[in-house]
């Protein structure tokens, strides 16, 4: 049988005509192929053939395929090699397909996470039911007729609890992967990332156009008659047009694209949650005081800083607001219940937080379990002041464990934690604004948080009735 090696941008690199045990698998699994010459081929059950990962929508490295074909011929196979880099789908079609696959992955991984969580809960309940027999600390009676059963119960409890912990970890893993897949479209279409992506794509397009004119770009030259240059030019033009439309759609929804025309020296720019005074306006960024001056501050001015001799640059794609020097001097406005129209309306004046009257802890309700007691959920962030702990919600200990244990409530720069002994409100901790980013998690868990602190457990439902 003849082995057919084909490559198109539309389908990627595929190998058909092999069979199990014919000796081709050992050659295909070598990590010496692809554009990096470090990739192995993989077997696909859906395609019923071998394929090269990440080869779709890319030009192939032909010498790598020629090396593979020669190795298969040396092993006694008849091989045909066909390469057509011009057969491709448009970038919009490819991106739409990637989004659909991400949605399918999110649904599939979400199902895995739900099954693992259900299995973990069942194993925990099984261990808990067995442990009820030893609720009062009954020891194993050595030599008694119950010794064998007691030891078996302890072993079953241990096995069930280990399974519960293992399945809980699996649930967290698949939940994280499902969330990552669900965030694919939001991540790719984030306006700030899209603007940075467009800058790179436009630079690549300029380089291709120089090569087509016979000029040097990126430190080397290419043959102007290479047909691959025309394909690359078409691909880059399509991708730029696609992401430009994404930016136009974001602008129609209210996204602001900042530029040097929006700033002058002495203005204030909101960058990564902190207001900085503008020292200089550049073509792609504004010069600001060094960011090492910002920890613990909401406003960093040109003078009075620890590192006055050092500066930083804030690129326009990372800017989220602007205020003039006069606006920064205005007293803070009273909090409004109406949503703000833009980041420029954020309060900018630094004011000390007044100490609120301490909230006494009420006496525990009779009959309430430990998990029914109240806990305070706190947010810990790398870039936040450490004067007082920052509290988001009050809820039961059981609910706090579920919220803080969910992988969706932590990120690269922050995490949620909880405590049932936070100290005194105003002196040790304070309430901070809830921006609603964790509302989907709370709704999914069926938790309604409170914004007032009472350390006493809630009365059981039977007593409350």
**Residues 405-435: tens digit of each pLDDT:** 887 887 767 778 888 888 888 778 888 888 8
Task: Please tell me the predicted confidence (pLDDT) of residue 359.
Answer: 41
Tell whether the model's pLDDT for residue 233 goes beyond 70: yes
Lowest mean pLDDT among 143-147, 253-257, 297-301, 344-348: 344-348
More confidently predicted of 9 and 463: 9
How much is the mean pLDDT over the chain? 85
Q: How far apart are CA 190 and CA 172, in angstroms?
A: 26
Numbers of helices and strands, H then E, in the chain: 11, 16
Q: Mean pLDDT, to the nearest integer, of 236-261? A: 92
Beta bridge partners of 375: 395
Question: What 8-state DSSP symbol labels residue 32?
Answer: -
Task: Please tell me the predicted confidence (pLDDT) of residue 331.
Answer: 62
Neighbour tally for 319: CB within 10 Å: 23
User: pTM of whole model > 0.85?
Assistant: no
Instruction: Tell me the backbone φ, ψ of residue 299, rounded to 5 degrees.
Output: -135, 130
Instruction: Tell me the backbone φ, ψ of residue 321, rounded to 5 degrees.
Output: 180, 165
**Residue 128 CB partners (closer than 8 Å, separation 6+):** none
Tell whether the model's pLDDT for residue 238 goes beyond 70: yes
3 state SS of 59:
coil
Task: Please tell me the predicted confidence (pLDDT) of residue 369.
Answer: 60
Using 50, 70 and 90 to split pLDDT, how confident is the model at 333? low
Nearest C-alpha neighbor of 171 from the set 105, 122, 110 = 110
Instruction: Tell me the backbone φ, ψ of residue 198, rounded to 5 degrees.
Output: -65, -40
Question: What are the DSSP E strand ranges found in 290-425?
Answer: 299-300, 311-315, 319-323, 374-381, 389-396, 414-419
More confidently predicted of 401 and 171: 171
Task: Please tell me the predicted confidence (pLDDT) of residue 343.
Answer: 39
Tell whether the model's pLDDT for residue 5 goes beyond 90: yes
- 8 Å CB contact between 449 and 442: yes
Task: Please tell me the predicted confidence (pLDDT) of residue 456.
Answer: 60
Tell whether the model's pLDDT for residue 82 goes beyond 80: yes
Tell whether the model's pLDDT for residue 49 goes beyond 80: yes
Task: Please tell me the predicted confidence (pLDDT) of residue 132.
Answer: 86
């Amino acid at each position: 049988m003849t082995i057919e090696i084909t490559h198109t941008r539309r389908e990627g690199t595929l190998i058909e005509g092999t069979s199990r045990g014919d000796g081709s698998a050992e050659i295909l699994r070598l990590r010496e192929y692809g554009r990096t010459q470090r990739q192995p081929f993989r077997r696909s059950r859906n395609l019923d053939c071998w394929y090269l990962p990440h080869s779709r929508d890319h030009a192939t490295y032909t010498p790598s395929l020629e090396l593979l074909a020669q190795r298969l011929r040396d092993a006694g196979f008849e091989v045909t090699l066909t390469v057509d880099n011009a057969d491709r789908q448009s970038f919009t079609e490819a991106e739409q397909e990637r989004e659909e696959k991400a949605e399918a992955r999110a649904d599939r991984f979400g199902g895995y996470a739900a099954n693992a969580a259900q299995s973990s809960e069942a194993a925990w309940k099984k261990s808990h039911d067995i442990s009820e027999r030893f609720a009062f600390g009954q020891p194993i009676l050595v030599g008694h007729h119950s010794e064998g059963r007691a030891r078996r119960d302890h072993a079953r409890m241990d096995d069930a609890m280990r399974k519960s912990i293992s399945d809980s970890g699996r649930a967290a893993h698949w939940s994280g992967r499902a969330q990552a897949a669900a965030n694919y479209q939001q991540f790719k279409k984030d306006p700030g990332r899209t603007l940075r992506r467009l800058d790179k794509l436009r630079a690549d397009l300029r380089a291709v156009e120089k090569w087509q004119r016979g000029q040097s770009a990126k430190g080397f030259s290419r043959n102007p008659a290479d047909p691959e240059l025309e394909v690359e030019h078409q691909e880059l033009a399509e991708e730029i047009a696609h992401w430009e439309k994404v930016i136009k759609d974001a602008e129609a929804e209210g996204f602001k694209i900042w530029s040097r025309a929006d700033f002058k020296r002495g203005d204030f720019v909101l960058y990564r949650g902190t207001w900085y005074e503008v020292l200089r306006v550049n073509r792609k960024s504004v010069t600001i005081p060094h960011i090492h001056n910002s920890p613990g501050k909401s406003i960093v001015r040109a003078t009075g800083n620890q590192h006055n001799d050092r500066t930083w640059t804030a690129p326009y794609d990372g800017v989220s607001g602007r205020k003039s020097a006069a606006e920064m001097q205005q007293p803070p406005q009273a909090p409004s219940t109406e949503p703000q129209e833009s980041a420029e309306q954020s309060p900018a004046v630094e004011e000390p937080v007044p100490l609120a009257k301490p909230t006494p802890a009420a006496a525990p309700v009779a009959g309430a379990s430990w998990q029914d007691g109240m806990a305070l959920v706190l947010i810990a962030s790398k870039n936040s002041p450490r004067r007082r702990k920052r509290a988001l919600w009050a809820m039961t200990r059981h609910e706090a464990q579920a919220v803080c244990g969910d992988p969706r409530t932590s990120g690269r720069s922050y995490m949620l934690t909880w405590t049932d002994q936070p100290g005194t409100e105003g002196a040790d901790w304070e309430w901070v604004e809830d921006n609603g980013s964790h509302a989907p998690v709370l709704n999914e868990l069926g938790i309604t948080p409170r914004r007032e602190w009472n350390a006493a457990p809630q009365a059981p439902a039977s007593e409350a009735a």
